[in-house]
Amino acid sequence: MQAQIMSAEEFKLELSKKDAEIERLHKMLLIHEEKSNIQIISHQIEDAKPKEEIKHLTKEDVGRYSRQLILPEFGVQGQIKLKNSAVLIVGAGGLGCPAAIYLAAAGIGRIGVVDYDEVELSNLHRQILHTTDRVGISKSMSIAQSCYRLNPSVDYVPYHLQLDSSNALDIIRNFDIILDATDNVATRYLLNDACVLADKPLVSGSALRFEGQLTVYNCNGGPCYRCLYPRPPPPEAVTNCSEGGVIGVVPGIIGSLQALEAIKIASGLGTSFQQRLLLFDALDGTFRSVKLRGRSKECSVCGESPSVIQLIDYEQFCGSRATDKDHQIKVLDDSSRINVKEYWTMLQERTPHILLDVRPIVEVDICKLPHPAINIPFTAFINNVTESASQIVQEVKDLAQKHQPEASASTINVPVVCVCRRGNDSQLAVEKLQKELAGKGVKVLDIKGGLHSWSKEVDPEFPVY
């Protein structure tokens, strides 16, 4: 049998994939060589056991922490309390980075950092403890390394794993204060319940677009997250930074405030945000603080007769995933989909078709396929499928007229090809369009994996976002 011969383009693509893999391995090697610098590097839970109580400050401590030691409210006792405290940061992203560096600088005794993910280029505008040369390596390790450089006297415990119901209590029990620096509802409920069950204060932050929020749950008899939100929001009502965008400074501010509250709690100064919610609006330049309801007797986890007495399946409870890793839905069968290479062939062969791009206009400005497209953003499309469909049919007819002037309406041979960023919205749009155009003889196809696949499999120079 004759071996299949690759084209020059395919060789280039293979090479660029191998180069990327070699670069990633180099970075992993570098990070492993640097590991010995970090006092606790294993993510084995047993390694996070508390060490002996510290009763005095060293000469080095006095020098390093002098500017906070001379605060009468804080003093030597405050610093000793910090040195004997362990804080766990869950999420090594936009909130986790600023929180970690201030906790490290202040001299918290032990800092745990949990994150299952690796650094990506699109993280760096806000996840400021990671660096360009660490793209592809563990985020929790990257934070530990950056913090170690600022303050090597702290014990760092990076956990490169996803916090879930099977490990959360074992990890959390080793720490005194927990920071929620994650970005999804399932993990928020998981952390809340774990903190209630393990009796730990939870400093919770969030940041999206130009807005941020901060509050402290389960602290000194204050409410927990479930007291305020007994039921999760519908999954479609929740947006994260990769969909909604965020200005990097906003999580910077909220994450710093999370560190501040943890420092206050650890040093005995208490918190200002138990039963209070801070709302930061970067566009208005305003900070507002609103009082929240107190602990609810009916709360299913911290109330008088709780029904949640152990951790549950939070993805099922919330109807949404606890990670935002490239989640690909599949609503169409293969006859309604083409892959990016097939679309590339269509372009090479100049096959007449209508390209429908359902991304928001702001994303179309970032990059687009090398073919003119009709742009109808997904939300606008869904809100008015009938009108969108008739616009598309008109375009199909005009193009068919140009290429097949003799063809009758029932034999239109101009397909509509739909694209979006990752191939999820485009599938939903194709499904709707197929229903709307049933019987009209118009073929509607989805490009599998969208622009992400285009960049991976056809054009490595194509920008990904």
* 224, 195 contact by CB (below 8 A): yes
Select 284 or 298, whichever has its Cβ closest to Zn ion. 298
Query: What is the distance between the alpha carbons of residues 189 and 318, in angstroms, rounded to a whole number?
Result: 9
Residues 147, 219, 418, 420: which is the catalytic one? 420
Is 63 assigned a ligand-binding role in the annotation? Answer: no
* 177, 88 contact by CB (below 8 A): yes
Select 273 or 381, whichever has its Cβ closest to Zn ion. 273
Contact with ligand ATP (CB under 6 A) among 86, 88, 92, 157: 92
Q: Find the angle CA(437)-CA(441)-CA(442) to the nearest 5 degrees.
A: 65
Written as one string, the DSSP assignment of 87-138 is EEEE--STTHHHHHHHHHHHT-SEEEEE---B--GGGTTT-TTS-GGGTTSB
Select 163 or 444, whichever has its Cβ closest to ligand ATP. 163
Restricting to residues 288-317, name those near Zn ion by CB under 5 A.
Answer: 299, 302
Is 321 assigned a ligand-binding role in the annotation? Answer: no
| Smallest distance, ligand ATP to C-beta of residue 94, A | 3
Restricting to residues 187-226, name those near Zn ion by CB under 5 A.
Answer: 224, 226
Select 92 or 172, whichever has its Cβ closest to ligand ATP. 92
Q: Which residues contact 219 (CB under 8 A, 6 or more apart)?
A: 201, 202, 265, 271, 274
Select 45 or 54, whichever has its Cβ closest to ligand ATP. 45
> Does 242 sit near ligand ATP (CB under 6 A)?
yes
Contact with ligand ATP (CB under 6 A) among 182, 192, 258, 271: 182
> Does 167 sit near ligand ATP (CB under 6 A)?
no
Contact with ligand ATP (CB under 6 A) among 68, 79, 84, 123: 123
* 186, 225 contact by CB (below 8 A): no
Distance in angstroms between the alpha carbons of the first and the last residue of the chain:
42
Residues 147, 241, 318, 418: which is the catalytic one? 241
Query: What is the distance between the alpha carbons of residues 196 and 215, in angstroms, rounded to a whole number?
Result: 15
Select from Zn ion, ligand ATP, none the partner in contact with residue 227, using the beta carbon and a kind-dependent cut-off of 5 to 8 Å: Zn ion
- Look up 195 and say whether it is catalytic: no
Q: Which stretch binds ligand ATP (CB under 6 A): 91-99, 216-224, 302-310, 338-346?
A: 91-99
> Does 369 sit near Zn ion (CB under 5 A)?
no
> Does 252 sit near ligand ATP (CB under 6 A)?
no
| Smallest distance, ligand ATP to C-beta of residue 324, A | 5
Q: Find the angle CA(151)-CA(181)-CA(170) to the nearest 5 degrees.
A: 85
φ/ψ region of 229 (left if φ > 0, alpha if ψ in -120 to 50, else beta) reads beta
Q: Would you give the distance in Å from CA 195 to the centre of its chain? A: 22
> Does 459 sit near ligand ATP (CB under 6 A)?
no
**Chain residue whose CB lies nearest ligand ATP:** 93
Q: Which stretch binds ligand ATP (CB under 6 A): 85-93, 172-180, 302-310, 407-415?
A: 85-93
> Does 122 sit near ligand ATP (CB under 6 A)?
yes
Scan for tokens 């479930």, then name that residue.
226
Select 337 or 422, whichever has its Cβ closest to ligand ATP. 422
Name the CA dihedral angle for 63, 65, 68, 74, rounded to a multiple of 10 degrees.
Answer: -110
Which residue, 140, 76, 86, is CA-closest to 109?
Answer: 86
Written as one string, the DSSP assignment of 261-322 is HHHHHHTT---S-BTEEEEEETTTTEEEEEE-----TT-TTTSSS-S--S---HHHHHTS-S
Tokens coding 285: 């330049």
Strands (E), 147-293: 155-159, 177-180, 202-208, 211-217, 276-281, 286-291
Is 267 assigned a ligand-binding role in the annotation? Answer: no
- Look up 367 and say whether it is catalytic: no
Contact with ligand ATP (CB under 6 A) among 86, 163, 266, 340: 163
Which positions touch ligand ATP (CB under 6 A)? 90-94, 114-117, 122-123, 127, 139, 162-163, 182-184, 187, 240-242, 322, 324
Residues that bind Zn ion (CB under 5 A): 224, 226-227, 299, 302
Catalytic residue numbers read 241, 420
Binding residues: 94, 115, 122-126, 139, 183-184, 224, 227, 299, 302
State the binding site for ATP: 94, 115, 122-126, 139, 183-184
